[in-house]
Structure 1
Amino acid sequence: MPGKCVLFGDSKPFLPPPWQTTDDRVRGGSSQSYLAALPNNGARFYGNLDTKTLGGAGFASQFSPIGGQNCNSTSVVASQEGSTSEGETVWDLSDYDGLQINLGKGDGKTYTMILKDERSDVKRDDGREKAGISWEVEISAEKDGVNVWKTWSDFKAFYRGKEKDDAGKLNRSQIRRIGLMMRRFGPVAQA
């Protein structure tokens, strides 16, 4: 069993290259998110979650760049449907039991960590990223900071914000993107 594998932070800065912003503005919302590098190789995830524009729902997220190198990663080359794009980093985390997230001082809110094991270079006709399965887990950003441990079984499959029970299993040998999200689903129905 291998030792510790640092994906981001510690000895591996979050930036550069820049993370990709995916906010609800792609659906007509007005939320905005940012990821800023910190001097200790950490990062600050922040922004504005607007839940009024889309009727009580909203999301603001940042995703790791396509490309770059980290431990246990391979850069694969191909361009046909069903394969990966040139320069896309694929992390093989199959030898690990889960992820540890080291959170600094937080705001006490709940965030979502997202893993994607499907290609991220497939685009729709309008140029936006095609929707796919996301593997998600909630993390609480405690005010005093905390190290959060999540096993692979803690991650649940989602498609377009809804849990998907028949998605199979997370392909830990081909993690292509890692994301952070703040979100709120639509209004709760009154009884």
Structure 2
Amino acid sequence: MGIKPKLLFGGDLKWNASDWTASDDRVRGGKSQSYLTPIPTDTALAEFHGHLDITALGAAGFASQRTTSATTTWDLSAYDGINLSIEDGDEKMYTFILKDELLDPDPESGRERASVNWEVDFRVPERKVEEEEEEEEVVVVDGKGRRKEGRAGAVYMPWKDFKPTYRGREMKDVEKPIDLESIRRVSLMTRSFFGTQEGDFSLTLRSIEAVTVDKEGEDGCVSAEKTGGDGEDQCSDPDPGNSIRKRSEELGGGMTAQQQPSQSWLQWIWARCFKR
């Protein structure tokens, strides 16, 4: 049998605010602030939200939430990547981060020492609108009674897309790949990308899970090639409703992080100066 998705946060596990803590640019004198708040009316959902400031640190702001446990270890070696199920979000660029090493605190300052991050940048897919709804504005309200931003879907991030960084800079000469047998920390971040984005942000998540994919990209399955067989792909759940593509369609969109269009400097300047 194939391997079912491994739920890390959300869904049936529900979200717990005590599992997360802020790691914002305030540690460097910045003014950004982030929160991870379970939705009171639906504990299967949690909102990563706050304010991204670029005034205090010269356009170098960041706001993030990371897991609090220093003892939890996830073995994700049997899986092919991470799937984020996103209920609602804005147009900002976000970053998903994994760590496979936590260093002991600095003996003099007591602060945690920096180690390598493995990260992927992504945007929330645009929500699909049915043809009969296109002529009128569709107002969707979340668990807090607020209007949703119009973006939702699934974002799949295969391991090959995770880039090693150290203190925000990509590392080109990493000696070893990410240790998927010993993932120690999960983080969500939004940052200014040198002043190209700022202000309030909001990302409502349903779940974070590790998934396997078959040759056509459906989770919950292991391809015959991977299992060493020559027959059909093996799936732990034959229900096609469990596929990444199916769930993306239900939420209104979905793609891998690398398939998402990037914004050029010219596009950003045009949007900032002429589309207000």
Task: Place the TM-score, normalised by the shorter chain, in its bin.
Answer: 0.7 to 0.9
Cα shift at 1:159: 0.2
One-letter code of the match for 1:99?
A: I
CA spacing shift, 1:187–1:6, aligned 2, 3 Å:
closer
Give the match for residue 87 of structure 2: 104
The CA deviation at 1:91 is 0.1
Say what the alpha-carbon RMSD is for the aligned residues: 1.6
For 2:115, give the aligned amino acid.
G
How many angstroms apart in 2 are the aligned matches of 1:144 and 1:23? Answer: 25
SS in 1 for 2:26: helix
Partner residue, 1:93: 76
Quote how far apart the aligned CAs of 1:40 are.
3.7
Match of 1:126 among 82, 106, 109: 109
More helix by percentage: 2
Q: Percent identity?
A: 43
Q: 2:66 aligns with which of 49, 63, 66?
A: 63
Q: Deviations over 1:97-138 (max 9, x none)?
A: 001100111112110000000025x21232221101000001
One of 170, 175, 187 as aligned partner of 1:179? 187
Q: Deviations over 1:138-173 (max 9, x none)?
A: 121243301011100010000000001122211111
Q: Identify the residue that residue 18 of structure 2 maps to in structure 1.
A: 17
Count of residues paired in the alignment: 167
Amino acid across the alignment from 1:180:
L
Which residue does the alignment assign to 2:145? none
Is the radius of gyration larger for structure 1 or structure 2?
Answer: 2
Q: Where in structure 1 do 4 or more consecutive aligned residues deviate above 2 Å?
A: 141-144, 185-188
Q: Matched residue of 2:10: which SS?
A: coil
Q: What corresponds to 2:265 in structure 1?
A: none
1 or 2 for the larger relative contact order (CA 8 Å, sep ≥6)?
2
| Contact residue 124 and residue 155 of structure 2 kept, 8 A | no
Contact in 1 for aligned 2:54/2:195 (Cα 8 Å): no
